[in-house]
């Protein structure tokens, strides 16, 4: 890891010899570099989140007392990221490269990832080839649910909801075509189509399922664009002077997926004589989401539904033995917040998860959060407390505190 970081700074230093470097005049803007001939621009930034989390089980089973039991706590670096973005040759040719350095970013080691850590989050090239049409190639987030596409550094709460963690379609490698146009007046429509491998990020073993992932998304902004891309940022930090609304719909087909949640989760395979035979099913996912902001008030809602094409999430091998289960079902997430004039925000979130019966138990989670935005999302302190009601299991209580710093 140390060698990798040192190499990044060595390359950066070498490139700066033929550029004009501009230190930020305002905190949170990163370090910017321009080519002397104006053929490239690069912005370098970093961020990290330090988290303190606490968890209790609730003794609610078999006429329990309701007392808090089984306490556990954890101090950890939730996220640590390096990010480069800018343009090359022409402002129409943009790029983004982001690395995750914390252990939570890297995930586990497996043969599908060449038994190495998954450092690379995004590696994208985007070209604006005609008017409002752009094409994007590489690894990055698919155009799925709004909460997932919102950067983890711009969240309203300490972290995303359970609807996102159970049903999102996450990052993948592929090609994305984007367009936007004005229907009439301030009414804007955006369309996105993505074709990707379907196995998730940093896969080195090839297309294990043999199929591809197809993602279609349409967005509608009846009252025009939000300030500073606020439709993809938690909380109304810009205090929109006029009501703003964004509605999005996504339909995703992951043909012959071989991971439990599509781009995430364990791989599903039958191992015979030391050889893995990956067995998959086609996953179909629908997202419907909305974001509303006005004068410090914000409201976001998301609905997710994921199913297998045959309606059965269980995977059997040739011997009729169960070897895996896809995470299918549906969920709803609603959040609301109000940003006060002193940049303190209070927010609340309601989340319900209804997995298919053979997959997991139903969950309902209630969250209340408090945030202090010192320099917007670039420097903030957040805390939230959640109560999770789990059917046929012990309920849980969570309390988290997190400091978020972006350079």
pLDDT, tens digit (0-9, with 9 covering 90-100), for 153-183: 999 999 999 999 999 999 999 999 999 999 9
Q: Which uninterrupted H or E stretch holds 163? A: helix 162-167
**Using an 8 Å Cβ cutoff, are 339 and 345 in contact?**
yes
Q: What are phi and psi of 152, to 5 degrees?
A: -65, -15
Name the helix (H) or strand (E) containing 192. strand 187-196
pLDDT at residue 373, as a whole number? 98
Q: In the chain, what are the domain boundaries?
A: 16-406
Phi, psi of 356 (to 5 degrees): -60, 150
Three-state SS at 357: coil
Give the pLDDT score at 66: 82
| Spatial separation of the C-alpha atoms in residues 35 and 42, rounded to whole Å | 9
Dist CA 231 CA 300 (whole Å): 10
Question: 292 and 248 in contact (C-beta within 8 Å)?
Answer: no
pLDDT of residue 37: 87
Q: Are 291 and 299 in contact (CB under 8 A)?
A: yes
Per-residue pLDDT tens digits for 318-377: 889 999 999 999 999 999 999 999 999 999 999 999 999 999 999 999 999 999 999 999
The CATH fold of domain 16-406: Porin (2.40.160)
Under DSSP, the state recorded for 165 is H
Residue appearing with tokens 């890297």:
106
Q: What backbone phi and psi angles, to 5 degrees, belong to 100?
A: -110, 125
User: How many residues would you count in the chain?
Assistant: 407
Over the range 89-121, which residues count as b (16 or more CB within 10 Å of their CB) and which as e? eeeeebbbbbbbbeeebbeeeeebbeeebbebb
Stretches where the chain sits below pLDDT 70 are 1-19, 22-25, 61-64
């Amino acid at each position: 890891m140390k060698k990798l970081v040192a190499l990044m700074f060595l390359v950066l230093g070498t490139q700066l010899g033929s550029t004009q470097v501009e230190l930020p005049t305002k905190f949170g803007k990163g370090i910017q570099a321009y080519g002397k001939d104006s053929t490239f621009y690069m912005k370098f930034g970093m961020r990290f989140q330090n988290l303190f989390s606490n968890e209790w089980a609730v003794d609610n089973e078999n006429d329990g007392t309701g007392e808090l039991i089984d306490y556990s706590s954890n101090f950890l670096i939730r996220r640590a990221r390096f990010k480069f973005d800018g343009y090359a040759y022409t402002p129409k040719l943009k790029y983004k490269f982001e690395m995750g350095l914390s252990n939570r970013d890297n995930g586990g080691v497996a043969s599908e990832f060449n038994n190495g850590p998954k450092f690379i989050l995004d590696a994208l090239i985007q070209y604006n080839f005609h008017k409002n049409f752009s094409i994007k190639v590489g690894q990055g987030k698919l155009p799925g649910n709004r909460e997932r596409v919102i950067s983890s550094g711009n969240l309203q709460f300490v972290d995303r909801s359970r609807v996102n963690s159970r049903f999102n379609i996450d990052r993948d490698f592929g090609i994305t075509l984007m367009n936007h146009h004005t229907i009439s007046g301030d009414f804007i429509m955006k369309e996105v189509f993505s074709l990707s491998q379907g196995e998730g990020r940093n896969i080195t073993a090839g297309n294990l399922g043999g199929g591809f992932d197809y993602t279609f998304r349409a967005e509608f902004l009846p009252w025009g664009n939000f300030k500073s891309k606020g439709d993809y940022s938690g909380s109304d930090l810009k205090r929109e002077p006029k009501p703003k609304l964004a509605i999005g719909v996504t339909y995703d087909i992951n043909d012959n997926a071989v991971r439990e949640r599509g781009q995430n989760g364990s791989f599903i395979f039958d191992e015979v004589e030391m050889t893995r035979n990956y067995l998959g099913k086609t996953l179909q996912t629908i997202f419907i989401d909305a974001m509303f902001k006005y004068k410090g008030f914000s409201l976001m809602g998301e609905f997710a539904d994921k199913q297998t094409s045959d309606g059965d999430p269980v995977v059997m091998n040739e011997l009729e033995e169960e070897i895996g289960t896809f995470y299918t079902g549906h969920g709803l997430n609603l959040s609301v917040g109000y940003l006060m004039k002193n940049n303190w925000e209070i927010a609340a979130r309601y989340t319900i998860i209804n997995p298919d019966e053979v997959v997991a138990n139903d969950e309902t989670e209630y969250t209340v959060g408090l945030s202090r935005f010192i320099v917007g999302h670039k420097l903030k302190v957040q805390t939230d407390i959640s109560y999770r009601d789990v059917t046929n299991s012990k309920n849980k209580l969570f309390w988290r505190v997190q400091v978020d710093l972006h350079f």
